[in-house]
Structure 1
Amino acid sequence: MNRNLYVLALGVFGITTTEFGVIGVLPELASAFRVSIEKAGWLLSIFALIVAVFGPFMLLTLSSYKRKSLLVFSLSVFVAANILSAFIPDFYLLLITRMIPAFFHPVYWSIALSVAGQTSDPAEKSRAVSIIFSGLTLATVMGVPLSTFMSDLLSWQSSFLLTAFINGVALAGVWLYLPSIQNTGTSSGKFEIKIFRNKHIWTGLFLAFFMITAMYSTYGYMADFLKNVTKMNGKQISLMLFLFGTAGIAGNRIAGKYMSRFPFQTTFVFLILLSGIHLLIGYYGSCFTPMILIVVFWGLIHSGGFLISNINVTSSTSEDSEFVNSIFTSCGNFAVTAGTLFGGFCIARYGIENIVWASITGLVLAMVLLLFKKRNRY
């Protein structure tokens, strides 16, 4: 079973590199297409918005197809879209091309998370889910910094070709090593309306939304912040993204270990520590050496956010896990979109050096909701 989970995590690595790989390349893309950094940020936010809006619909529409076939086809779309992106001369065509794989992103995520949850003991669920999320962490360790490095070393086009290669490796892994997966989720093609009557689900979703919005308000513009505030060059930014992701491996494992036993305490500590990190970024952002240490601890804490959010949502109900995970995926990507747009708004209005306050606002709202959740004893 562990082998199956790691194979699925390899696919998560590929599709997540596609979604977030542009984070480190945004300054180059903005310059190449002669658009503002806020407008370039739409390359991230439009992807997330498509996932958010169409996630549950795509899963329900394709529910009758074999799960492994859906995984293989989804990764094939990611390979093709990244190759096309490398040869597009117009910003808006690039934007449209990035929208295509976004439709299949939630299909892959929902099936992978469902397999992790359904094939493990309840006590081991957080660990199984953490294996799937290790693909996301690996994307921040290798995918995002490698994309940034390739863009700095050769061109932004080469970063898209690298991402296509990563997805190709993931496709080969899933095709060759993953056994056939039984259709265990929604097969009727109808919405499970009763899920939306569960107030526990809504509390978990709003908590996840504010947490992830806060995370991506600043992280979505990390490369631009390090370039313009910390005054780092392209290679140094690549190294910072690598350190961020490497620390995130440990952070993801720590979150998975404690979330199953102490969900409230783990979430509470996460919000406190991430708020503290953003305050340090705001205070020491222009200081080169302190920012190196801050980025490491930032990655250590940040990486557990998606896993913590997912467990808060999925533990709220015992209903159809694939559909619940598709709802979570939509919520998370709505939050990524909101965070990117809110961060872009703050940059345009207050400057890149003050972007951390966008994240701190979201974290405060998440803390209020968490305490409300605790008070009502969910």
Structure 2
Amino acid sequence: MKKSLLSLALGGLTIGITEFVMMGILPDIAKNLNISIPVAGHLISAYALGVVIGAPLLVIITRNYPPKKTLLILASMITAFNSLSIIAPNYEFLFAVRLLSGLPHGAFFGVGAVVASRLADKGKEAQAISVMFAGLTIANLLGVPLGTYIGHHFSWRYTFIIIAIVGTLTVCSLYFWMPNIEAKAREGMKTQLLFFKKAEAWLVILITAIGAGGLFCWISYIAPLLTDISGFDASDVPYIMMLAGLGMVLGNFIGGKLADRYSAEKTIIVLLSVMAVDLMLVFFFSSNPYVSLALVFSTGCIAFAVAAPIQTLMIQTAVGAEMIASAAIQAAFNTGNALGAFLGGLPLIAGFSYASPNLVGITMSILGVLFTVVFLQRKRRVLKLQRI
């Protein structure tokens, strides 16, 4: 495997721990800062909001930089902002820091996805992108459980020390392993932004924000789901998160292979449909601890299988505007993150069980399928007209 792709994977690892460890240590932060779990859940939304703001903004600001320089700047920002969480004295400060930490997330994955596709062997672009996202999945396999364990048994602040260390390693690996790729001759920014006048652009964004939101309805409240519904002890959660991470690692590579073998949109339709069924099973059967463990693995697998196909679909759709469009997908993913955490929390505020957010997730996944079907129909119509 190319070292350049491994440096992107290491960046994905840093971002993955940053984003997903919050779900595991949410009860610990809530207790330490004397806030409720639903209020602590707003820290997840703050990070997602940062991604939405930062993804297009930072790509525009760095658009004239070569990709390596851009990635180094973004990785340095990730490391610096996460380091501030270590000293957060209260909820308000931590909320602001989480917002700042999210700013470089989307731009890093957006630029990284385009770079990965350029470094890939012909016909293996989606698999190269999946290598970058492998860091995100390995974070859920190893980094998040470790961070959750440390946050639960020692202090959640120590978890952010780990993130700072991994972030520093990312900066070093990019500096030494990433080749000096020349920036592609770009269209003007005004021309690139015209891409968002296309219905196809917004359909892909809706597929991502709404369809992928089902994952975040589930994972945002996975810790209380496992303890209150499945009956596991809080000390078991880090190990169960490793099971979810293992599913994500497997699903990520399956998604990349499927998108290269079949069309990205057909792969997305199948995966989001299966996700809706899986979340229904989570809702009905999480009270059984053995079944719950199997569902933790399957949900992680299915949810992350959709990442590379969606990223590939946007790059294929946005010819001439790949960088900003790819970053927009990351903003859309984290819009889904914010929506999943917020909408999934509404049934909890209304007094329903910690299994209830999955009902919201089912709805979001089905809507994602419908948007993808519309996209596919529009694509077929355009191809038919081109043949005439």
Where on the TM-score scale, by shorter chain, does this alignment land: which range?
A: over 0.9
Question: Separation in 2 of the partners of 1:187 and 1:317?
Answer: 12
Indicate how the Cα distance of structure 1 residues 185 and 23 shifts in structure 2: closer, same or farther if over 3 A, else same. farther
Question: Separation in 1 of the partners of 2:150 and 2:8?
Answer: 26
Contact (CA 8 Å) 2:19, 2:47: kept in 1 or not? Answer: yes
Q: Secondary structure at the match of 2:123?
A: helix
Contact (CA 8 Å) 2:204, 2:310: kept in 1 or not? Answer: yes
Deviations 1:37-81 (A, max 9, x none): 111112111111121123112111122334323322322232233
Q: Which residue of 2 aligns with 1:244?
A: 244
Q: Secondary structure at the match of 2:261?
A: coil
* Structure-to-structure mapping, 1:139-150, within 5 angstroms: 139-150=139-150
Unaligned runs of 5+ in 2: 381-388
Deviation of the 1:151 alpha carbon: 1.0
Question: Separation in 1 of the partners of 2:316 and 2:220?
Answer: 28
* Structure-to-structure mapping, 1:1-378, within 5 angstroms: 2-121=2-121, 123-184=123-184, 186=186, 188=188, 190=190, 192-263=192-263, 264-349=265-350, 350-378=352-380
Deviation of the 1:268 alpha carbon: 2.5
What is the count of residue pairs matched by the alignment?
Answer: 378
Question: Separation in 2 of the partners of 1:59 and 1:329?
Answer: 12
Deviation of the 1:238 alpha carbon: 0.6
Q: Counterpart of 1:110 in structure 2: which amino acid?
A: G
Deviation of the 1:188 alpha carbon: 4.8
- TM normalised by structure 1 equals 0.94
Contact (CA 8 Å) 1:185, 1:320: kept in 2 or not? Answer: no
Question: Separation in 1 of the partners of 2:315 and 2:63?
Answer: 20
Indicate how the Cα distance of structure 1 residues 35 and 259 shifts in structure 2: closer, same or farther if over 3 A, else same. same
Identity of aligned residues (%): 23
Question: Separation in 2 of the partners of 1:57 and 1:10?
Answer: 23
Question: Separation in 1 of the partners of 2:356 and 2:329?
Answer: 30
Deviation of the 1:186 alpha carbon: 4.8
Indicate how the Cα distance of structure 1 residues 374 and 166 shifts in structure 2: closer, same or farther if over 3 A, else same. same
Question: Separation in 2 of the partners of 1:185 and 1:229?
Answer: 54
Deviation of the 1:121 alpha carbon: 4.9
Question: Separation in 1 of the partners of 2:185 and 2:51?
Answer: 19
Contact (CA 8 Å) 1:247, 1:296: kept in 2 or not? Answer: yes
Question: Separation in 2 of the partners of 1:290 and 1:317?
Answer: 42
Indicate how the Cα distance of structure 1 residues 97 and 374 shifts in structure 2: closer, same or farther if over 3 A, else same. closer
Deviation of the 1:340 alpha carbon: 1.2
Q: Counterpart of 1:274 in structure 2: which amino acid?
A: M
Question: Separation in 2 of the partners of 1:12 and 1:57?
Answer: 20
Contact (CA 8 Å) 1:211, 1:305: kept in 2 or not? Answer: no
Question: Separation in 2 of the partners of 1:20 and 1:99?
Answer: 14
Contact (CA 8 Å) 1:149, 1:234: kept in 2 or not? Answer: no
Contact (CA 8 Å) 1:148, 1:234: kept in 2 or not? Answer: no
Deviation of the 1:377 alpha carbon: 4.1
Contact (CA 8 Å) 1:200, 1:317: kept in 2 or not? Answer: no
RMSD (CA atoms): 2.0
Question: Separation in 1 of the partners of 2:327 and 2:319?
Answer: 14
Stretch of structure 1 that moved more, 270-279 or 117-126: 117-126
Question: Separation in 1 of the partners of 2:9 and 2:368?
Answer: 28
Question: Separation in 2 of the partners of 1:80 and 1:185?
Answer: 31
Question: Separation in 2 of the partners of 1:190 and 1:197?
Answer: 11
- TM normalised by structure 2 equals 0.91
Contact (CA 8 Å) 1:229, 1:353: kept in 2 or not? Answer: yes
Question: Separation in 1 of the partners of 2:165 and 2:242?
Answer: 19
Q: Counterpart of 1:305 in structure 2: which amino acid?
A: V
Deviations 1:310-337 (A, max 9, x none): 2232222322211111121121111211
Unaligned runs of 5+ in 1: none
Q: Counterpart of 1:161 in structure 2: which amino acid?
A: I
Stretch of structure 1 that moved more, 270-279 or 75-84: 75-84
Deviations 1:57-110 (A, max 9, x none): 211112233432332232223223333212222111111112223222222112
Question: Separation in 2 of the partners of 1:310 and 1:8?
Answer: 15
Question: Separation in 2 of the partners of 1:95 and 1:312?
Answer: 33
Q: Counterpart of 1:275 in structure 2: which amino acid?
A: A
Indicate how the Cα distance of structure 1 residues 78 and 197 shifts in structure 2: closer, same or farther if over 3 A, else same. closer
Q: Which residue of 1 aligns with 2:386?
A: none
Deviations 1:192-250 (A, max 9, x none): 23212322222222112221111111211111211222122233111111011112211
Indicate how the Cα distance of structure 1 residues 76 and 197 shifts in structure 2: closer, same or farther if over 3 A, else same. closer
Deviation of the 1:366 alpha carbon: 1.5
